[in-house]
A and B are shown apart, each in its own frame.
Chain A
Amino acid sequence: MTRLQRYYLSYTGGFLLFIGVLAVLEQHGMPPRWIGYAFLFFTIFLYAAIGIMSRTSDVSEYYVAGRRVPAFFNGMATGADWMSAASFMGLAGTLYLSGHQGLAFVIGWTGGFVLVALLLAPYLRRFGEYTIPDFLGARYGGNAIRLVAVGAAILASFVYVVAQIYGVGVITSRFVSLQFEIGVFLGLAGILVCSFLGGMKAVTWTQVAQYVILIIAYITPVAILSYNVTGNPVPQLVYGQVLQEVTRLEHRLFNTPAEIEVRNLYRERADLYAQKIMQLPQSLTLEREKFSAEINRLKASDAQMKDIVAVERLRRDLPHDPDQARSQWENAMFSAVDRSKMPTHHAEAFPGENDAEQMAMRLNFMALIFCLTIGTAALPHILMRYYTTPTVRQARESVFWSLLFILLLYITAPAYAVFAKFEVFSHLAEIPLTKLPGWVAAWSKVGLVSIEDINGDGILQLAELSMNPDVIVLATPEIAGMPYVVSGLVAAGALAAALSTADGLLLTITGALSHDVYYRIVRPDASTQLRLVISKSLLLVVAVLAATVAAQKPGTIVSMVAWAFSIAGSAFFPALVLGIFWKGATRIGALAGMVLGTLLTLYYIVRVEFNEIPWLGISNLHMEPWLYIQSTSAGVFGVVAGFITIILVSLLTPSGDSASAFLKGIRRTEQRSGR
């Protein structure tokens, strides 16, 4: 066992001991709030300590951890780098809501690593510089391609880092009831203590520590739940039986008379909203007059004051103008439509009422897998990690370890979803509203669970329950009746997932700016000291900027992360892969392919997702999707267009001479054969 392995083994032991001590303290009456604080400050303190111990003023250590990270640990660090707040909190929820359809994320987010292993990692390491734009710049030559790559890297990474910091705000505000904005800036501090002083070196060793915490935190609650339900603590092995049970419950519950009645009520409500929207603006006036008449009637019949106030509040809450009414009522209509539909069976693949619907589901499933896979193999903050190993061979091996460590979480997420569904179907459905378990009330208060007794029978029907996807992972400790210390652990894990990803992304952005733009283009003669000063100041600026954006609570953040994959995939993947495997790819071809692919992806996202961009004065943008493909999979078109463009344009343009020397180096073609 190496020295490093001993360190991290005792670190893991220490962390388990810390959890044990808190569990004992909780038994002796330590309040939950304090347990939350303990987890929050202890883990951030740990990361800060590692960050300070790894501080550096060496360029190679700052950008690529001195290329001394062994394969095993680089795998762990990549795991933490890769698994974000979305994987940790959102994935299980997505699987809960969409069943088999959600498996596209599991397949796509793991399958990408095969592409990294076969097509990219060994060649990036053999090239052995600092950033991804470096690689493209060296292969194709010229500053133009470097700038395009920098732009795409920043576009894809910045959205992503904002989402992570936003996630930190959500976690801290929920678990230790800090104000959201304070949580955001606390997260910012947590990110800066690692990356500012020690760059990649500090981030790597912190990420290893964060991986340990996040994987313990992810597996513990569902293992206990699994033991409670099946008597076996390995959820991944036994949830097949639970899935069968869920399917049986689905067959029984979906068709009870009460369930059908509730769905019909929601359909009526949806129709009502549709009618009101059709009759705008009269319907809004009518609505207001109806409330006014009601108030006058109540006042005339000397009713209770509080009844009058209630109706007055309803009238005040009406939309102010027809535009607002339209958007509010459309949302209400869509949510009612969703609830009026027959729910899908969890294990059923590509559910749909007819062949066309099933085909649309199937196509979207395939497209999403394609985009997530290519995006995974093209996100600069992941690819950068393969510069940090000592040898090419270790770079290859570290992809194996990366996938192994990531897989531990991704094969657990579907189990989470199935166990949660089993709990809901067996302990929530058909239960009187007064007898619901305590966790439902607790999470209703935060607004993540909501219940509406639309048919007024005092009993919960499935269609009356709506849950935010994040709640599945966050509430499992309470569902399984575990002490608060487990909830605190989950919060610490989610925090680790968000911080580790944010660290990696931030380094990518500042690396692109300080190394590729400043050092390579603006001032190639800059001293190493100056380069580090520039890099650290940029890091600070970008981090504060990201936190400021996150503090605004941008609404579309989750879909923006999905778009980042499509953008990164269409910008980088074709140029990188063709650059390595096809001698004929030329500079102009690569430039054209990168620009065209990215633009097509952006165009598709904008046209499908938005109808108008007010600040540009554009309206009536909306178009029908091509082949039913949703905007989250826009990369399908961008990547294919990128490949075709690079090949066509390259065939028409003369190839430069830098390419062949470069390729000889990374392919190792000039080898003496034999020994």
Chain B
Amino acid sequence: MKHPDGAYWLKTRRLTFALLFVWIVVTFGASWFARELNEFSLFGFPLGFYMGAQGVIFIYLLIIWFYNRQMRRLEREFGIDDE
């Protein structure tokens, strides 16, 4: 079973869209419900404020780190070497 776009691209695309979905949920979820999240607190901050000021940004960093790790694995798997 061969897809015309090749397995590498299909896997890249699946990973990209999955992480994009996480990004959308985190960004707009935490922002939309900031008022409700403020009921809780973390490290002395109201949670909604904390997410906007630090939490969301650390998750962004994590998303990029995870993407890079998975892409390195994919490239090894398919022997892709973009020099």
Contact = CB atoms under 8 A, between A and B. Distances in A.
Contacts, number: 147
Interface stretch (A39-47, A326-334, A365-373, A649-657): A365-373
Nearest to B44: A240
Contacts of A404: 61
Interface residues of A, number: 56
Contacts of B20: 118-119
Contacts of B77: 674
A119 B16 contact: yes
Interface string A345-377: 001111000000010001001100100010000
A111 interface: yes
A349 to B, nearest CB: 4
A347 B77 CA distance: 48
Interface in A238-263: 240-241, 243-244
A218 to B, nearest CB: 16
B34 A349 contact: yes
A113 interface: yes
B16 to A, nearest CB: 5
Interface string B49-80: 11011101110110111011001100101111
B34 A670 contact: no
Given A366-B31, A392-B82, A668-B8, A400 B64 contact: yes
Interface residues of B, number: 50
Given A117-B67, A126-B82, A350-B34, A240 B50 contact: yes
B56 to A, nearest CB: 6
A390 B57 CA distance: 27
Interface stretch (A3-11, A23-31, A52-60, A102-110): A102-110
B6 A671 contact: yes
B44 A399 contact: no
B35 A349 contact: yes
- Candidate in B34, B50, B53, B79 with the most chain A CB atoms within 10 angstroms: B53
Given A668-B8, A669-B8, A373 B48 contact: no
Contact of A118 (B7, B19, B43): B19
A602 interface: no
Contact of B6 (A397, A407, A673): A673
Interface string A597-616: 00000000000000000000
Contacts of A414: 53
Contacts of A390: 83
Contacts of B64: 113-114, 117-118, 399-400, 403
A391 B83 contact: yes
A390 to B, nearest CB: 8
A243 B49 contact: yes
A400 B52 contact: no
Contacts of B71: 122, 393, 396
Interface of A: 100, 103-104, 106-107, 110-111, 113-115, 117-119, 122, 125-126, 236-237, 240-241, 243-244, 347-350, 358, 362, 365-366, 369, 373, 390-393, 396-397, 399-400, 403-404, 407, 410-411, 414, 581, 667-675
8 contacts: A114-B19, A237-B43, A349-B38, A349-B49, A396-B67, A411-B57, A672-B78, A675-B79
Given A118-B67, A362-B35, A672-B78, 16 more contacts: A110-B57, A111-B60, A113-B64, A117-B64, A118-B16, A118-B19, A119-B16, A125-B82, A362-B32, A369-B27, A407-B61, A411-B53, A669-B9, A671-B79, A673-B7, A673-B78
